[in-house]
Amino acid sequence: MSDESRPASEAPHVDDARLPKTEFTRLVGCALPIQQAPVGYPAADPALAAAVAAAGAHGMLAAVRMAAEELSEALDALNSQTRAYGVNLSQAILDQEAFEVAAEKAPLVELYIGEPDPTLIERIHSAGALACRQVISADEARLAQEEGCDLVVARSIEAGGRAKGGVGMIPLLDCVLEAVDLPVVAAGGVGSGRGVAAALAAGAGGVRLGTRFLAAEEARTHPGYLDALLAARTEDTALTEAFSVDGPPSPHRVLRSALEAASVYEGEVVGEMHIFGERRQVRRFSADNPADTATGRIEAMALYAGESVGSVREVQPAGEIVAEVATEAGELLRRLAAG
Ligand SMILES: Cc1cc2nc3c(=O)[nH]c(=O)nc-3n(C[C@H](O)[C@H](O)[C@H](O)COP(=O)(O)O)c2cc1C
C-alpha cells in the first residue's frame, strides 16, 4: 500500500511500542491509549480528529448542535482518512436527524448529559457503531453498562468544560473500574505524559486530553482564548455555574480570568460569533465559548479549561502533542516496571 492510499490511522510513523495496547485501543482500533476530547464546536474540527488519528491516537468530533447535513459532510471527510474516531452528542439537546447520521457513518457515538436510554444504544449498535457514555460516578457507569454501552468515559472534576459535577480522577477511576467490566477512558486534568501514565497505571484503558488539544495547530481556537490558555497556570481555573445565562445553572470549569473579566464587564453583550450558520450575539455569562469567528471581549467569554491548562505551553501540531505525551508516558511506565 502506498503512503497516499494508507488510512491515516495506520500512518507508518506511529511507534506502537511507546505505550501498551489496552482493551480500549483494541476496541476502537487505534495504536495508542490516548484520546483527544471533543472540545466544543468548532474547535474540535474534523481536521483535529484526523491529525490525532494519523498520529496513532483516537480523535473525537464535537457535534453538539451541529446540523445533520454539516455533520454528514464532516463524517464523509473523516471516513476518507481514518476510522479511529468518534462523534460526541449531548442527549439533552439531541437532534434526531444528526443522531441518525452519526450512528450510520461514525465508528463510535458518545452521549453525554442524559438519562439512560437503551433504545438509543440499540440504534447505535444496529447501525454498526460502538456506543459510549460519559459518566461521573460508579452508579452512572453501572447504568451505562446495563444500557448496553461498549465503553465509558469517566469524567472527573478537574476537567474543562461543562459537566454535572463529579469527583477527582483517582477516586473516580477507583470506583468506576470496580463497578463495571468495560474499557474506561479517564478524562479530566490530564495534559502531559505524567497524567497519562498515572491513569493507565491505575487501570484506565485510555486517557482523554481536552484543554491541551485546544493549543493544537489544527484546532480552531480563537487567538485571544489561546493567549489566555498559554498564560494560565495549573491553579488558574475555577469551577462555577456563572456562565449559564442561557439555561439552567450547571457547573463548568473555566479560566478564572474569564470569570473575573465577565464579572466586571458592564453591559449585556460581550461580543458576536458566527456559529451554526448564523451570526449571533454572545450575552455576558453565555455558555458559548469563543469560536475562531468570535469578535468582541473574548477574555470575558466562557473560556473553558481544565486543571490540565498548566501543560499548555506552546502551539504544536496535534501529532506532535500525541507523540510527546505518548513518549513521556511510555518512559515513565517503563521506569516503573523496571523498579
Ligand atoms: C473548550 C472545551 C469544550 C468542551 N466541549 C465538550 C463537548 O462539547 N462535549 C463533551 O462531552 N465534553 C466537552 N468538553 C470536555 C471534554 O470532553 C473533556 O472531558 C475535558 O476536556 C477533559 O479535561 P481537560 O480539559 O483537563 O483535558 C469540553 C472541554 C473543553 C475544554
Answer yes or no: do 124 and 41 share one domain: yes
**In a domain? residue 17:** no
Closest CA to 287 of 199, 162, 163, 142: 162
Ligand 1: distance of its center to the CA of 5 in Å? 32
Confidence of residue 52 (pLDDT cuts 50, 70, 90): very high
Asked if residue 33 has its Cβ within 6 Å of ligand 1, the reply is no
Asked if residue 160 has its Cβ within 6 Å of ligand 1, the reply is yes
Q: Per-residue pLDDT averaged across 197-225, rounded?
A: 97
CA 225 to chain centre: 17
pLDDT score of 139: 97
Q: State pLDDT tens for residues 262-321.
A: 999 999 999 999 877 788 899 999 999 998 889 999 999 999 999 999 999 999 999 999
Question: Which residues make Cβ contacts (< 8 Å) with residue 271, sequence separation at least 6?
Answer: 281, 282, 290, 294, 295, 296, 297, 298, 301
Q: Which amino acid is at 40?
A: G
pLDDT score of 173: 98
Mean pLDDT of the chain: 93
pLDDT score of 8: 44
The CATH number of whichever domain residue 175 belongs to comes to 3.20.20.70
The structural domain count of the chain equals 2
For the cut 90, the answer to whether the pLDDT of residue 169 exceeds it is yes
pLDDT score of 7: 45
Residue 181 DSSP one-character state: S
pLDDT score of 16: 58
Answer yes or no: do 195 and 235 share one domain: no
**In a domain? residue 104:** yes
Answer yes or no: do 211 and 244 share one domain: no
Q: Per-residue pLDDT averaged across 161-188, rounded?
A: 95
CA 170 to chain centre: 19
Answer yes or no: do 262 and 153 share one domain: no
pLDDT score of 111: 97
What 3-state DSSP class applies to 145?
A: helix
**In a domain? residue 288:** yes
Answer yes or no: do 200 and 118 share one domain: yes
For the cut 70, the answer to whether the pLDDT of residue 116 exceeds it is yes
Answer yes or no: do 148 and 47 share one domain: yes
Answer yes or no: do 181 and 294 share one domain: no
Answer yes or no: do 186 and 281 share one domain: no
Which of 39, 112, 184, 275 to mutate to test ligand 1, by most ligand atoms within 8 A of the CB atom?
39
Quote the strand ranges of the chain, DSSP E: 34-36, 59-62, 85-90, 108-112, 130-135, 151-155, 161-162, 184-187, 206-209, 237-240, 252-255, 269-275, 278-283, 295-296
pLDDT score of 339: 84
Pairing state between β 130-135 and 151-155 = parallel
Atom of ligand 1 nearest to the CA of 307: 26
- Residue owning grid cell 454535572: 164
How many alpha carbons fall within 13 Å on the CB side of residue 324? Answer: 17
Confidence of residue 15 (pLDDT cuts 50, 70, 90): low
**In a domain? residue 8:** no
pLDDT score of 336: 92
pLDDT score of 2: 36
Cβ atoms within 10 Å, residue 191 = 26
Closest CA to 185 of 155, 215, 211, 212: 155
**In a domain? residue 13:** no
**In a domain? residue 20:** no
**In a domain? residue 25:** no
Which of 35, 304, 309, 322 to mutate to test ligand 1, by most ligand atoms within 8 A of the CB atom?
304
Ligand 1: distance of its center to the CA of 155 in Å? 9
Answer yes or no: do 50 and 117 share one domain: yes
Asked if residue 56 has its Cβ within 6 Å of ligand 1, the reply is no
Cβ atoms within 10 Å, residue 336 = 10
**In a domain? residue 86:** yes
pLDDT score of 275: 75
Answer yes or no: do 249 and 110 share one domain: no
Answer yes or no: do 172 and 140 share one domain: yes
Range of the domain at 169: 32-219+314-333
**What percent of the chain lies above the pLDDT cut of 70?**
95
Answer yes or no: do 321 and 193 share one domain: yes
What's this model's pTM, rounded to 2 decimal places?
Answer: 0.94
Confidence of residue 17 (pLDDT cuts 50, 70, 90): low
Q: Per-residue pLDDT averaged across 238-266, rounded?
A: 96
Q: Per-residue pLDDT averaged across 154-175, rounded?
A: 94
